[in-house]
Amino acid sequence: MAVTKKDVLEWVRAFAKVIAENKEYLTELDAQIGDADHGANMDRGFRAVLEKLPEGEDVDIGKIMKTVGMTLLSKVGGAGGPLYSTIFMQAGMSIDGKDSFDLADWAKALEAATAGVVRLGKASPGDKTMVDALTPAVKALKDATEQGLSLGEGLKKSAEAAEEGMIATIPLVARKGRASYLGERSAGHQDPGATSTFMLLDTAAKVWANCS
């Protein structure tokens, strides 16, 4: 079972739609503890991505992911721009040159992406950031690979782990990003970055559920 180039394009397009639909929700979450721009920024970035998505026979998965990464870097701004750019760039480099990938490849790609985000954002699990959704998702993917689960099952487990990580950000006091300026007042609110990250992995699980 493998994810093909066509599936990757479908995932990116589906995520752009999820972001457009949840633009106000993400901005609302950000208004609670940040500066009320996460939804609008992500939407601007992914609308640009839709215009630039490369297609054609000679384009591999790595090229698609890197194009998404570069587009986000030049269109999003804020911390979300470089961080989401890094997810796609690192995953793209990990899968570079391939026309399809399996669960083990995706576990490695998301691990590389998470390492990139941690390096750039200097955040650790528990800081109330997107790392809190990414880290458990990577662990779930690796466990699923070891247990020999199917692609669909593994992706579902990673989305569930990301969702748990996202919900677990609610009581946390932010230690990185703009929410950290609020100190104790940041507790009781769900992190917008962890939320959009969950949406990204949840979209992958849904779109790639029946890859053959």
Partner 1 sequence: MKKLINKPEDVVLEELKGIELAHPDLVKVHYDPDFIVRADAPVKGKVALVSGGGSGHEPMHGGFVGMGMLDAACPGAVFTSPTPDQMLEATKAVDGGAGVLHIVKNYTGDIMNFEMAADLAKAEGIDVEAVVVDDDVAVKDSLYTAGRRGVGLTVLMEKLVGAAAEEGRSLKEVADLARKINGQGRSMGMALTSCTVPHAGKPTFDLPEDEMEIGIGIHGEPGRTRMKIKPADEVTEMLLTPIVEDLPFESGDEVLLFVNSMGGTPLIELYIVYRKAVEMLEAKGIKVVRNLIGPYITSLEMAGASITMLKMDNDLIKLWDAPVKTAGMRWGV
Binding site for partner 1 (CB under 8 A): 27, 31, 33-37, 40-41, 44, 73-83, 120-121, 175-178, 180-183, 185
Q: Write phi, then psi, for 62 (nearest 5 degrees).
A: -60, -45
DSSP-assigned letters across all residues of 97-137? T-SEE-HHHHHHHHHHHHHHHHHHH---TTSSSTHHHHHHH
Nearer to partner 1, 23 or 108 (CB): 23
Q: How many CA atoms lie within 13 A of 165 on its CB side?
A: 33
Least separation in angstroms between CB 131 and partner 1: 13
Question: How many CB atoms neighbour CB 188 within 10 A?
Answer: 12
Phi and psi at residue 105, to the nearest 5°: -60, -45
Nearer of residues 29 and 64 to partner 1, judged by Cβ: 29
- Please list the residues that pair with 3 across neighbouring strands: 101
> 121 or 154: whose CB is closer to partner 1?
121
Cβ proximity to partner 1: between 36 and 59 the closer is: 36
Q: What is the smallest separation between the CB atom of 123 and partner 1, expressed in angstroms?
A: 9
Give the nearest distance from C-beta 100 to partner 1 in angstroms: 31
> Between 127 and 202, whose beta carbon lies closer to partner 1?
127
In terms of Cβ atoms closer than 10 Å to its own Cβ (0-12, 13-18, 19+), residue 122 is exposed
Q: How far is the CB of 58 from partner 1 (least distance, A)?
A: 26
Least distance (Å) between residue 96 CB and partner 1: 21
